[in-house]
Amino acid sequence: MTTPGQLMRAEIAEQPTVLANVLASYGAHLAPVVARLRSHDTRAVLLVARGTSDHAALYAKYLIETRIGLPVGLVSTSTYTAYDTRPALDGVVWIAVSQSGGSPDLVESTEKARAAGAMTIALTNADGSPLEEAAELRLPMLAGAERSVAATKTYTTSLLWLWLLVEGWAQRPLDAAAGVPDWVAASLDRPEVADVASRYRFVERLVTTSRGFAYPTAREAALKLMETCYLSAHAFSGADLLHGPLAMVDEDRPVVVICPDGRGGAALEPVLEQLHARSADVCLVAPSEVRGSAALRIPLPSGMVEELAPIAQIVPLQQLALQLAVSRHHDPDHPRGLQKVTRTT
């Protein structure tokens, strides 16, 4: 008999090893895709994904816009499926991200994008999946089997692969990623997570927020808390939070702020000031060099590259979702009504 959260706990703990394995073996998979990208006359990039993978795609959007300098859009798949739209996609790079590679809407929209002239790339964790078959080029996540419904290691491996892809495309050195497994290992089993889980055990509503490369972390953290703990978690960029939603924040609605060391962290300073002025119950997830007033703090490793930091930032928040769910007598491995593969059309 398995204990609640056993699978999720094990898969969270596997992440340093899985990420190290990706760094040891990405070359043969990445090289032909990067070569094709460099020879392609690209005018725009479209990203398509669902759920957790959608947050990985949002991360890639920030990377491509800042590192390659191309316009990037997140695809509304229903325009290709429900509405059967067939736009001209010559000069477009289409990147599909999916753990299972089995969602019909991702497969159908990728098939149509390829037929419409896009260069299509599939990043999946399932060899021979329908999405891989639909795309021209393929990248394997190499995360290994993930059995918990709540995705953890497939998310962090997706981020690493997308960073490698974009940096390789930009013809930049890839050695900055060498520290990622150690950063993730240092983010595991932080004792402060238990303190946050205890304080938030009976919370029914909270907010997550960040900016820049860490904003997808806020989105993914909110999703993990919703699907495992069944609470109402709203994710906002720091800028959007100040444009209205701040009105709902008070001492009874906790705010989890993911604050990187870098430009994204600097952009969050006005947000932290406003939260402090409202006496908000803030949990700051940040390295020690980031200062800020907060009731709780989950420390992150120092010295992380801002663009790579999201791979480690999410880890203590995965563990927060796990611990909070178990404390509420839920099983995060098998959230009610959810399946590992969601089939949308």
Question: What's this model's pTM, rounded to 2 decimal places?
Answer: 0.95
Query: What would the pLDDT profile of 199-221 be if each residue is shown by its tens digit?
Result: 999 999 999 999 999 999 999 99
Take residue 254 and report the two structure tokens written for it: 């906790």
Residues 6+ apart with CB under 8 A from 202: none
| Domains, the chain | 6-177 (3.40.50.10490), 189-327 (3.40.50.10490)
Backbone angles phi, psi at 174, to 5 degrees: -105, 5
* Local structure of residue 53 (DSSP, 8 states): H
Cβ-based neighbour number of residue 8 at 10 Å = 29
Distance, in Å, from the CA atom of 64 to the CA atom of 69, rounded to the nearest integer, reads 6
**CA angle centred on 214, ends 245 and 11, rounded to 5°:** 115
Q: Are 68 and 239 in contact (CB under 8 A)?
A: no
Query: What would the pLDDT profile of 279-325 be if each residue is shown by its tens digit?
Result: 899 999 999 888 877 889 999 999 999 999 999 999 999 999 999 99
Residues 6+ apart with CB under 8 A from 288: 299, 302
Please give the C-alpha separations between residue 305 and each of 176, 203, 270, 279, 312, in angstroms, as whole numbers: 8, 33, 22, 31, 11
Low-confidence ranges of the chain (pLDDT < 70): 1, 337-345
Take residue 250 and report the two structure tokens written for it: 């008070």
Please give the C-alpha separations between residue 68 and each of 64, 308, 309, in angstroms, as whole numbers: 5, 16, 19
Q: Are 69 and 172 in contact (CB under 8 A)?
A: no
- Percent of the chain that is helix, strand, coil (3-state, to 5): 50, 15, 35
Q: Are 131 and 106 in contact (CB under 8 A)?
A: yes
**pLDDT, position 295:** 85
SS3 state of residue 67: helix
Nearest one of 98, 124, 94, 137 to 112, comparing CA atoms? 94
Alpha-helical (H) ranges within the chain are: 6-13, 15-25, 27-39, 51-63, 104-115, 130-134, 153-169, 180-187, 191-199, 215-229, 238-242, 263-267, 269-277, 310-327
Q: Are 293 and 282 in contact (CB under 8 A)?
A: yes
SS3 state of residue 288: coil
